[in-house]
Amino acid sequence: MKKVWIVGGLVAASLALGTLIVIGHDLLTPPDAPPAKARSSGLPWQVDSLPGGASKVMGLTLAPSGSAPGSTQVASTLADAQEQWGQAMQIAIIAAPGEDGLLEAFVDPASAGFITGKAVITAQLSRAEIRAMRERAIKSEFMESTTRKYTLTPADLQTALKAPITALSFIPQANLDADTVMARFGAPAERVRSNGHLEHFLYPAKGLDLALDSEGKELLQYVAPAEFDKLRRPLMKPAVGAASAALTSASQP
């Protein structure tokens, strides 16, 4: 399921993972910046590759969902994220029609070094656990269209806090441009344009898909590098369809 939470409250555009205080070059030289040591860690472009296809970003470890118990790389939990970003973090089950839903946490504001923004964290629970939590939910409410948010019981919330994080999405307050992205994140392995105003900068080694939107907000999506195909695969389908349509059109008189 796409990040419907963000679409519901943050982004009015596409890929549902939902806004303008500074402009892109402020990422390079933030005003009234604290001493370098105090602001040099946890930045969005600082991704540490770890053994076993895992990574560490913004102080949280993203490990492949199939990691065996006792693995040297264990994913951070929602409790770790809460310790980092505070009690204001909201946790709920987010579900679109026909889907079981996902366990997600929303953080606003979320700080990544001297960069501020909003974050959506996805954590892993079994489908059975998701369904049971939905049935026990204190309340459910519509977010956008037919997407629902299920508020967890206190007991289920404690269970949710132990769930391992599988993905992290970050929407910076700063507006980025291609030059800023290249300067900070480096040259991407691939650039994919999904429509006229949205371009994806893909960094498989970092497990990062950075969506640059000329008409909306930028979105940074992180997964464990070993699972990067989960981010890339959906981008290829519309590209193939567009290419096929273009070829068909060109062949017609």
For 131-140, the pLDDT digits (tens) are 999 999 999 9
**pLDDT recorded at residue 242:** 39
**pLDDT recorded at residue 239:** 47
In a domain, 32, yes or no: no
Q: Which of 9-23, 61-75, 143-157 has the lowest mean pLDDT?
A: 9-23
Rounded Cα distance between 245 and 218, Å, is 28
- Which tens digit of pLDDT belongs to each residue from 37-80? 445 789 999 999 999 999 999 999 999 976 544 456 799 999 99
> At a CB cut-off of 8 Å and minimum separation 6, what does 191 contact?
199, 200, 201, 202
In a domain, 43, yes or no: no
**pLDDT recorded at residue 88:** 78
In a domain, 9, yes or no: yes
Q: What's the domain count of the chain? A: 1
103-122 average pLDDT score: 95
In a domain, 76, yes or no: yes
Tokens encoding 195: 């429509």
Mean pLDDT (the chain) is: 81
pTM score: 0.79
What ranges make up the beta strands (E) of the chain?
Answer: 47-50, 54-57, 60-62, 90-95, 102-112, 115-123, 139-142, 148-151, 165-172, 190-193, 198-203, 208-213, 219-223
| Domain with 143 in it | 4-27+48-251
The larger pLDDT score, comparing residue 13 to residue 102, is at: 102
User: With 70 as the cut, is the pLDDT of residue 24 above it?
Assistant: no
The larger pLDDT score, comparing residue 190 to residue 23, is at: 190
